[in-house]
Amino acid sequence: MTELTAAERAFLESPFVGVVTDLRPDGSPHSTVVWVDVDDDGVSFNTARPRAKPRHLDADPRVSLTVVDPGDPYRWMTVEGRATLVDEGANDQIDRLSAKYTGRERYASHREGETRVTARIAPTRIESRGLGRS
């Protein structure tokens, strides 16, 4: 099943950080902590060019995102799939994520020379524990 359940969607709406793993050019894993977004189009996270994540995903779109409930480490979910990088709306998304994770309406860490980008995950596999998935 590659659709989110209602419980998984609600879980991702919580301000729990995720760990995204993409692949470096040599095939080794590259994992980083990200803020997670979920909307009608599915699961996504935000990053910026010219950072490593967008470079890696441009070369190989395979990605895995794992989110763990900090209050219960046995309640978690993983979304595996292919990421598509989308520039449109990425600045608005990072501001929404800032509000979700920090309470600030505007993202405070914009860096000169960076362009925000949304990485949308088209899931090929979703796994979870403690969220009602069979």
pLDDT tens by residue, 29-45: 999 999 999 999 899 99
Q: Which tens digits make up the pLDDT trace of 76-86?
A: 999 999 999 99
| 36-39 vs 42-49, strand pairing mode | antiparallel
Give a yes or no: residue 1 inside a domain. Answer: no
Give a yes or no: residue 50 inside a domain. Answer: yes
pLDDT of res. 37: 98
| Count of the separate structural domains present in the chain | 1
Residue 94 has pLDDT above 70, yes or no: yes
CB 130 within 8 A of CB 69: yes
pLDDT of res. 134: 59
CB 52 within 8 A of CB 58: no
Give a yes or no: residue 31 inside a domain. Answer: yes
Give a yes or no: residue 105 inside a domain. Answer: yes
Q: Which tens digits make up the pLDDT trace of 54-74?
A: 999 999 999 999 999 999 999
| Torsion of the alpha carbons at 88, 11, 109 and 119, rounded to the nearest 10 | -30
| Cβ count within 10 A of residue 107 | 19
Give a yes or no: residue 134 inside a domain. Answer: no
Percent of the chain residues topping a pLDDT of 70: 99
Give a yes or no: residue 33 inside a domain. Answer: yes
| Cβ count within 10 A of residue 78 | 18
Give a yes or no: residue 74 inside a domain. Answer: yes
What residues make up the domain containing 35?
A: 6-129
Give a yes or no: residue 119 inside a domain. Answer: yes
* Average pLDDT score over residue span 11-31: 98
Start-to-end CA distance of the chain, whole Å, equals 10
Domain CATH number, residue 87: 2.30.110.10
- Give the residue, 28 or 110, on which the prediction is more confident: 28
